[in-house]
Structure 1
Amino acid sequence: MKGDSLQQAERECRRIALSHYENFLVASVLMPGRLKQPFYNVYAFCRTADDLADGSATPQQALRSLEQCQASLDATFAGRPPAGIFTALAATIEQFQLEKQPFDDLLDAFRQDQRKRRYETVDELLDYCRRSANPVGRIVLQLAAVDADREALDRSDQICTGLQLANFWQDVARDHAIGRIYLPQSELRASGISEDMVSEMVQQQSTPPVMKTVIEALCVRTQTYFDRGEPLCDHVPKWLGRNLRLFVGGGRATLAAIRAIDFDVLRVRPRVSKATQAGLILRSLVGR
């Protein structure tokens, strides 16, 4: 019966994973076969928690659902996984001796999204990325059995933080629509931009030069995260290096798409073209 329940849980994890088209799922094509199911098991947890955070009717309901998810995670690491995806996650935790902290950090970031909608400084935003993005990279390093020293962990964190920040600068208007502003308030004020002005810009779907200057500076700074993280690609198994190059390339392509519209992110959401995406995947597949 236990084997049957595990197989059923793994099928559910595959269903959740393969029903979402995201960069991490594209990257799974480059993974060794033995790692695909464990990857799906971890992804299903991340996706489910993310959906609880962003798909709930109210922040209060989201917090209650995330607390239940935390309780299920705690039980899973204690050897008492609830039925469903946590049964599959428990098998992966045991097989790879995964650490609990990255999973806790992710849930903590999801809870923070319900309580905190503004970030005063870049450092505050980076602390959020430390828990919302960096844990994913660290879990993948554990799945890959990479002997991650301090330098390797730092480079992984740089890549994940860069991806999160690039997404923020791409989605300023979308985030504003759900009440969130990830642009650091101190940087906006230094340029003479108030929160009311941001709302007016979004409403008018226009990015004035002063806001473009802020976005451009943030993009330039974000580029340095990819520069610092990319050397990790040469110090991990080849399949993982190809995946990391795919992510770094995707992050840089997002920044390039923002530049291509002259940083006018409030008028139109910058997109990485299908041709560019295909090129990134092809270069990863051939190891370039």
Structure 2
Amino acid sequence: MAAYRYCEAVTALQARNFSYGIRLLPEPKRLAMSALYALARRVDDIGDGELPTEEKTRALARTRDLLDEIREGRVTEDDTDPIKVALAHAARRFPIPLDGFDELVEGVEMDLRGAEYKTFEDLKVYCRCVAGSIGRLSLGVYGCTDWERGPAYADTLGLALQLTNILRDLREDATNGRIYLPAEDLERFGCQEGFALSAPPLGADFLGLVAFEADRAQRAFEEGLRLLPMLDRRSRACTAAMAGIYHRLLGRIAADPESVLRGRVSLPGWEKAYVALSGLAGGRS
């Protein structure tokens, strides 16, 4: 189906970390995951784009309408939106909990409102909207042997990935006027001035802050990865590959906290490929 090919192209071009994992899936699941990613990317791009807030709000409302069309079975292969067509087909094949996309939209709306996070509990709400939701959506494609505990683990793994993203993007987000780390943590470590400069705030315990948040992310990884035994071999490999790439990224940040102020921390392609192959072999890199 051409609609799926479009979604695969979007995924390969704009989500290298994600695409390393889904390459390990059998074709039906790989195509469904590419459709999930393509819509998630569209929602993210709305939030991060240059449109006025009012237009972004309308674009997010159109996304909600798209989801309603899929739920109500009103999408045909003649529709001109390939992401909608692909996701509708995937939702007929797999029990995808589409409400997860509503949560993702809510998370982007929080960004548009300029939401601030006083406590970690406040931040967790945001993380579960923008990342935990993707974990639960993905579980609908993967399948799971324990539907009582599995979604909670998928949600927590999403939290771990998002916390890693927040650490990685501290400087970039700060230059865009966004601070995601809880205000109580910034105050505790003397980092209230933010991270717009390429050096830690004067007098701040920046190393202590990053160590504290990295430990929090590490604990979320350890809990979330309990999901792996509940998945079939290739879904487990896919999840282990994606989580492994972010886990290694977290390790890089923890080892050199100031690196996040100098530029975006990333892994070379060969290392991502190694992590993906390790996941296929049953490892947890």
TM norm structure 1: 0.88
Map 1:162-241 onto structure 2 (within 5 A).
162-194=160-192, 197-198=193-194, 201-203=195-197, 205-208=198-201, 209-241=204-236
Give the aligned CA root-mean-square deviation in angstroms: 2.0
The Cα shift of 1:206 comes to: 0.1
Task: Provide the C-alpha distance between the structure 2 equivalents of 1:75 and 1:275, rounded to a whole number of angstroms.
Answer: 41
- Aligned match for 1:246, one of 241, 244, 247: 241
Give yes or no for the alignment of 1:10 onto 2:4: yes
| Shift in CA distance, 147/114, structure 1 to aligned 2, threshold 3 Å | same
Distance 1:248 1:87, change over 3 A: closer
Q: Relative contact order (C-alpha < 8 Å, sep 6+): which is higher?
A: 2
User: Which residue of the partner structure matches residue 96 of structure 2?
Assistant: 98
Structure 1 residue 72 and structure 2 residue 66: aligned? yes
SS at match of 1:112: helix
Deviations 1:259-278 (A, max 9, x none): 23244522343333444323
User: Measured at CA, do residues 105 and 21 of structure 1 come closer, stay the same or move farther in structure 2, by a change above 3 Å?
Assistant: closer
Contact kept? 1:246, 1:281, Cα under 8 Å: yes
Question: 1:236–1:184: structure 2 CA closer, same or farther, 3 Å change rule?
Answer: same
CA contact (8 A) 1:207 1:265 kept: no
CA deviations over 1:208-246 (Å, ceiling 9, x no partner): 551221121111111001111222212210111112222
Distance 2:271 2:6 in 1: 32
Give the 3-state SS of the residue equivalent to 2:266 in structure 1. Answer: coil
Secondary structure of the 2:14 match is coil
Gap runs ≥5 in structure 1? 1-6
Assess, with a 3 A threshold, how the Cα gap between structure 1 residues 263 and 220 changes in structure 2: closer, same or farther.
Answer: farther
Query: Is the partner of 2:73 in helix, strand or coil?
Result: coil
Task: Indicate if the aligned counterparts of 2:46 and 2:60 stay in contact, CA closer than 8 A.
Answer: yes
* Equivalent residue for 1:255, pick from 250, 254, 263: 250
Note closer, same or farther for the CA distance 1:275–1:96 as it changes in structure 2 (3 Å cut): closer
Matches within 5 A, 1:48-87: 48-81=42-75, 83-84=80-81, 85-87=83-85
Q: Once the 2 structures are TM-superposed, how far is the Cα of residue 184 of structure 1 from its aligned partner?
A: 0.7
The answer to whether structure 1 residue 41 and structure 2 residue 35 are counterparts is: yes
Cα shift readout 1:93-138 (whole Å, capped 9, x = no counterpart): 1221322311211111122111124211111110111111111111
Structure 1 residues 64 and 140: alpha-carbon distance in aligned structure 2, compared to 1, 3 A threshold: same
* 1:152 aligned partner: 150
Query: Counterparts of 2:242 and 2:235 in 1: how far apart (Å)?
Result: 11
CA–CA distance in structure 1, aligned partners of residues 263 and 33 of structure 2:
34
For the residue of structure 2 that corresponds to 1:98, the secondary structure is: coil
Find the counterpart in structure 1 of residue 280 from structure 2.
285
C-alpha contact (below 8 Å) 1:141/1:148 kept by paired residues: no
Unaligned runs of 5+ in 2: none
Q: Note if contact 1:206-1:264 (Cα within 8 Å) is conserved in structure 2.
A: no
CA contact (8 A) 2:132 2:158 kept: yes
From 139, 142, 151, give the equivalent of 2:140.
142
Q: Which has the higher helix share?
A: 1
1:3 corresponds to: none
Q: How far apart, CA to CA, are the structure 2 residues paired with 1:153 and 1:63?
A: 29
Aligned pair in 2 of structure 1 residues 173, 73: CA closer, same or farther (>3 Å)?
Answer: same
* C-alpha distance after superposition, 1:65-117 (max 9, x if no partner): 11112112212211223531212211111221322311211111122111124
Tell me, yes or no, if the aligned pair for 2:242 and 2:276 is still in contact at 8 Å.
no
Comparing 117-126 and 276-285, the one that deviates more = 276-285
Structure 1 residue 257: Cα displacement = 1.0
- 1:72 maps to a residue whose letter is L
Aligned length: 277
SS at match of 1:116: coil
1:108 corresponds in structure 2 to 106
